[in-house]
Amino acid sequence: MSPDARERLSTLRERLLHLHKMLLDDERAAYERTFGRIKTNGEFFRLVVGDEWFAWLRQISALIVRIDELLESEEENTASAAHKVLVYTRSLLTPTEEGDGFGRSYFVAIQREPHVVLAHAEVRKLLAG
């Protein structure tokens, strides 16, 4: 992978981590409005990992892990894999009013939380370049 591609992927990772944090904060607030306060970070972690409410966010978690693997890889085919990650990220981060999958949950979060909008814009700006 070229140094420029590696830097772009690294920057994408950083921006996705920020977006993921904003989404987690927003989902936590929505969850707490529905079910009451989450008392500990351990309880929150268990919910994020195992509760259906947070399941849609696991796609971003998996994407970040995939980027980490590419950044650590020394294989020659990583440039092609990195390109596929960029294409997948563009596709994944497309909010939609329709359906009930990731796109719909993402749309709702964008409508609800300005910090998510800003983090989304930063990722999309990188992906457009």
Q: Return left, alpha or beta for 99; rule: phi > 0 is left, psi -120 to 50 is alpha, else beta.
A: left
DSSP type of residue 11: H
**C-alpha 95: how far from its chain's center?**
12
Do 64 and 17 contact (CB within 8 A), yes or no? Answer: yes
First to last CA, the chain: 18
Interhelix angle for 3-35 vs 102-112, to 10°?
Answer: 80
Q: pLDDT 10s per residue in the chain (129 long)?
A: 777 888 989 999 999 999 999 999 999 999 999 999 999 999 999 999 999 999 999 999 999 999 999 998 877 667 788 889 999 999 999 999 998 899 999 999 999 999 999 999 999 999 987
d(CA 114, CA 101): 21
pTM (2 decimals)?
A: 0.91
3-state secondary structure of 37: coil
